[in-house]
Structure 1
Amino acid sequence: MKTRYAAIPLALAALTTGAAQAFDRPGGVFYDQARVVDVRPVKELVRVAAPAQECWTQPVRHVQQTGPSTGAYTLSGAMIGGVLGNQIGKGDSRNAATVVGGVAGAVIGNSMAQSRQQTRVYTTQEQQCQTVERFYEEERHVGYRVTYRYQGQEYTRTMPYDPGRTVRVRVSVDPID
């Protein structure tokens, strides 16, 4: 029990000795503890961008050709026309008749193929998407507004952390001329 009470004056002596020795240093600067009397979180609104995807359905028009290939009909017509022209032509005009018959047959074959083709037009709904930036406001923690008392005076400062019950203070003592 006696040891316990004896430790209190020793602790007080150690605390005051450090402060008294600090005044002997050049510049008269020392560090001490101040009691914290109030701590409040400091928050601010921040505008934040977030990418978002917007999608919608859109009508798309399609055109489709159905029926026989025009190439096959054109080629068949050219061959048949060439054979017929060759049969009709005589002597030196046979080659010319073959060419004319081939061209005429190709034109007739192509025309027949196109007359048999059908055009089908239809519409489908297709999904289209794009990425856009959406903005929202968010409250963010930026520090603590700390009020502390030292030597009977109250001081307030913003700090990046909550200091707890006490805060370390830097005390500077300079003579006034």
Structure 2
Amino acid sequence: MTSKHWMILSALIAMGGAVQTAHAADFEDFARVISVTPQMEQINVPRQDCRTEYETTQRYRQPERQAERSNGGAILGGVAGGLLGSQVGGGNGRIAAAAAGAIAGALVGDRMDNNNTNSNNNYNNQPSYETRPVRQCRNVDSWETRTNGYAVTYEYHNRTYTTVMPYDPGSRLRLHVALTPRP
């Protein structure tokens, strides 16, 4: 080997020692875990609560057009009543009975002929009820508890430290120790 090669080899060995010395201050060790406390937070996750209710409404029917009254029943009733009245009694009593029969017959005939016309008015004034489903929805707060980390208290070389970690480390905590000299 030439002297040039020895110099390069000596420089490499010296650099390797320096690199080893720089890394010698960084190492891994374990600490004893004293306590682990989950860090909890409350989060609101709103949701929609819906249900169907039934609503009853009252409404009135539209009045129908009132039918026109008929005179046919009164005329027929009057003729029939007059004929029946004329069969009763004699002389002037017969004329009076015929007149009374005609009047009574006209009233009965009118009522029979126009009976349906008046009864519809009361029916139209009666309310009707209608029930229909109505969907009711509202937003409701829904709180959830979540763990967002762990407060870990550990002991290393008779000193106590606390840090927050994303997981529970168990009974031992792996540490990366880096020693640096003070200037």
| Bigger fraction of residues in strand | 1
When Rg is computed on C-alpha atoms for both structures, the one with the higher figure is 2
Question: What TM-score, normalized by structure 2, do the two folds share?
Answer: 0.48
